[in-house]
Amino acid sequence: MKSGTKFPLGKYLPVGRKCSFLINRPNSPPFVKTNLYIVGFMGTGKSAVGRKVARKFDLHFFDSDLEIEKKTGLTIKDIFQVQGEAAFRKMEREYVETGHPPDGCVIACGGGLVLQPDILDVLKSKGVVVCLFASTDTILERTSRNQKRPLLDVDKPDEEIRKLLEKRNAIYMRSGTGVTTENRSISEVAAHVCRIYRKEAAWLEPRHGA
């Protein structure tokens, strides 16, 4: 994170909630809840799972794609068409590096984020990283409901999905703790992610508080 970057807490806290991600422990300084970054291919349920996990731990939830759309006033599809994928990837990286609070958040990241050089090191230095998985057939079924995905705006989206998965799967496998969403409800997946977060954030907290 760039030195001097500040985030007004009121902008990021849910309406009507106190700054509850700062918790006072007896005989210890306040500890700050570690960020959780959810990565994985499109259609694996990152946003739906992320919202449930955020509610469970009283964290604030952000979808990186939605935040970029808010900032630019353009849809992701429009950004791809007008400015190109490279411009979008730059915005995506900037958001992950400096565009959100350093603690107290769950971030649902774009499916292609992990392809960027050194970005996994950036994510892991900032918090817990969990990667969601689903089968090709399940992703095909889920993404067919959404016409706003620019990478699937092609004649044969099923072939494009298979090509992208073949290119990305090896990177997803080393992105963080993996969780399958296959034949599982959003609540079941979220509960699994919560267990991972409790375990891994507990290990990271002393480092973040140093």
Mind listing the pLDDT tens digit for each residue in 95-122?
A: 999 999 999 999 999 999 999 999 999 9
Domain that holds residue 171: 29-205
Of 51, 47, 49, the residue nearest 64 (C-alpha): 47
What are the φ/ψ torsions at residue 179 (nearest 5 degrees)? -135, 125
From residue 98, alpha-carbon distances to 10, 80, 144, 160 in Å are 17, 22, 33, 31
Report phi then psi at 123, rounded to 5: -60, -45
**5 in a structural domain:** no
Indicate the pTM of the whole model. Answer: 0.80
What's the pLDDT tens digit per position in 73-100?
Answer: 999 989 999 999 999 999 999 999 999 9
Q: Supply the CATH number for residue 144's domain.
A: 3.40.50.300
**Would you say residue 17 has pLDDT above 90?**
no
pLDDT tier for residue 7 given thresholds of 50, 70 and 90: very low
Residue 159 banded pLDDT, cuts 50, 70, 90? confident
Q: Is residue 37 part of a domain?
A: yes
Domain total of the chain: 1
Residue at 8 is within a domain: no
Per-residue confidence at 46, pLDDT binned at 50, 70, 90? Answer: very high
Q: Is residue 3 part of a domain?
A: no
Q: Is 38 exposed, middle or buried (0-12, 13-18, 19+ CB in 10 A)?
A: buried
Strand ranges of the sheet holding 177-180, from the earlier edge strand across to the other edge:
60-63, 105-108, 35-40, 127-133, 177-180
